Amino acid sequence: MIVGGGPVGHRVAERLRHHGHDGPVTLLDAEPGPAYHRVLLPAVLDGSLTPADLRLPDLPDVTLRHGVSAAGIDRRLRQVRTTEHDRIPYDTLVLATGARPHLPPVPGLRHASGWLIDGVTGLRSRTDCARVRGDEIVVLGGGPLGVETAAALRRAGRRVTLVHPGPYPLDARLDAEAGEVLTRHLDGLGVGLELGRVAAEVQPGKVVLADESPLAWDTLLCCTGVRPRTRLAEAAGLAVRTGVLVDAAGRTSDPAIRAVGDCTEPGGSLHTGWEQAEAVARSLTGKGAPRGLAAGRRPVFRLRVPGLTLGVLGDGRGDAGDEIVTYRDPARGRYARLSLDAAGRLRAAVLTGLPQALATLTQLYTTDTPLPESRLALLLGRPAPRTGPLPELPPEAVVCRCNNVTKGALAQAWEGGAQTAEALAKATRATTGCGSCVEEVREMCAEFAGSTS
């Protein structure tokens, strides 16, 4: 049984079937409609995607119960009690309960009853998209969701102001030079930036900043982070700190219960959720670790803002003693900072404006392969002698993180006749989310063509 019908819970069910699990699978989804990609919600705000475009593929041979939540877990009897007052037995339970928006404790944000005042919302569901109204939008929070949302609303013609306490957006992930590139890009889009500022008070239609300057709003969007949903796990007596504690195979403190995605500690990006789902599915079906992928967490972050290629591998910073390779071309918005270990393997990286280099480096990072000697040629996308060919990614490797398209799915579509990047996009939806995987899909095309020639 899987509790949680978001992208990661959906992925667990899909991978269980892929790896040969032939027993019953039940998925409880609190939302009433089909599962969808929450990370693409900003694209709905600018009209580049419709709500229907976010829908995840149907799951074959899975019992889906939409609009049903888990109310409790009886670990002794191995049963889940639902909000419909029935009890469902399980052999293995997978918690994929996700996270809830964290709203800042700003005076005036809520009524005395605890409800948000009219016009204030987070952005975690399709319903939240419908709550964004009017022309004057203030976005609180300059993390990934805040930046992507502000850019999307600006592209839709809204007047947008982004309020962020840090010196530049995404300051938790980027160094100052990459932050400057991002700041210039947002400024060029026409996003108003209030950096190093915080909201001190919220009034109907107005935010008062700490220096007492006011910002008018028709909608106030709080993109100020999330907190793992752990109530169900805590009530069942599972080990929880910030999130549900899990090992590399998603096991909780109860061997019959796994957990994946944003409800876990460490949680992380959606890419980490994909990895956890794959690990759980392989563990439950007796499969080993995926061939060709490096052990351990390999976080990959890509900002979903059209017109700007920005990616972070690892924590973006690396370790003391690493070799640092830096490339700067501020006039063209191109910047890279690579952190390499003594063997030339990539430990962390930040890149802007270098799509081909980001695609290649992601592949090298994911497979823990040393970089070629000519670092500059790699960054500029120029051919250079290599010590060997780029490593071959395994079929399980996720190429399009927006639509959860693996190399194996691309290969299958290629064999079915989709033998261009455009045809693969139509067949698999790869590249149709944020578009940041276009170069990787093109590289896959070259690899597939070479293997069949």
Strands (DSSP E) contained in 50-204 are: 63-66, 70-74, 79-82, 87-89, 93-95, 99-101, 120-121, 136-140, 159-164, 192-195, 199-203
- C-alpha to C-alpha distances, 46 to 154, 155, 191, nearest whole angstrom: 8, 6, 14
Determine, yes or no, domain membership for 431.
Answer: yes
In this structure, the answer to whether residues 193 and 51 fall within a common structural domain is no
The two structure tokens encoding residue 318: 């690396």
Question: Is 60 found in the same domain as 18?
Answer: yes
In a domain, 388, yes or no: no
Q: Residue 129 is inside which H or E element, if any?
A: helix 126-130
- 389 in any annotated domain: no
Query: Within this chain, do residues 124 and 219 fall inside the same structural domain, yes or no?
Result: yes
Q: Kindly state whether residues 133 and 162 are assigned to the same domain.
A: yes
Same domain for 81 and 7: yes
Residue 109, domain member (yes or no): no
What is the rounded distance in angstroms from the CA atom of residue 261 to the CA atom of residue 281?
Answer: 13
Residue where a domain terminates, one of 354, 382, 410: 382
Per-residue pLDDT of the chain (453 residues; tens, 9 = 90+): 999 999 999 999 999 999 999 999 999 999 988 889 888 899 999 998 899 888 888 998 999 999 999 999 999 999 999 999 999 999 999 999 999 999 999 999 999 999 999 999 999 899 999 999 999 999 999 999 999 999 999 999 999 999 999 999 999 999 999 999 999 999 999 999 999 999 999 999 999 999 999 999 999 999 999 999 999 999 999 999 999 999 989 999 999 999 999 999 865 555 678 889 989 999 999 987 665 455 556 788 999 898 999 999 998 888 888 999 999 999 999 999 999 999 999 999 999 999 989 988 988 998 889 998 888 889 987 755 544 455 667 787 778 877 778 888 999 999 999 999 999 988 998 887 666 788 788 888 988 888 765
106 belongs to a structural domain: no
Which of 382, 407, 438 is the last residue before a domain boundary? 382
Which domain CATH number covers 30? 3.50.50.60
Bridge partners (DSSP) of residue 259 are: 95
- Do residue 267 and residue 243 come from a single domain? yes
Q: Which of 413, 388, 303 is nearest to 43 (CA)?
A: 303
Q: Is residue 107 one of the residues assigned to a domain?
A: no
Residues 187 and 38 in one domain: no
How many domains does the chain contain in total?
Answer: 4
CATH code of the domain covering residue 414: 1.10.10.1100
What's the CATH code of the domain at 339?
3.30.390.30
Check whether residue 155 and residue 250 sit in a common domain.
no
Q: Does residue 78 share a domain with residue 12?
A: yes
* Residues 152 and 93 placed together within one structural domain of the fold: no
Same domain for 132 and 179, yes or no, is yes
Domain final residue, candidates 199, 224, 249: 224
Distance CA 377, CA 356 (A): 11
Residues 129 and 191 in one domain: yes
Domain residues for the domain of 438 are 397-453
Residue 71 lies in a domain: yes
- Radius of gyration, CA atoms only, the chain: 22
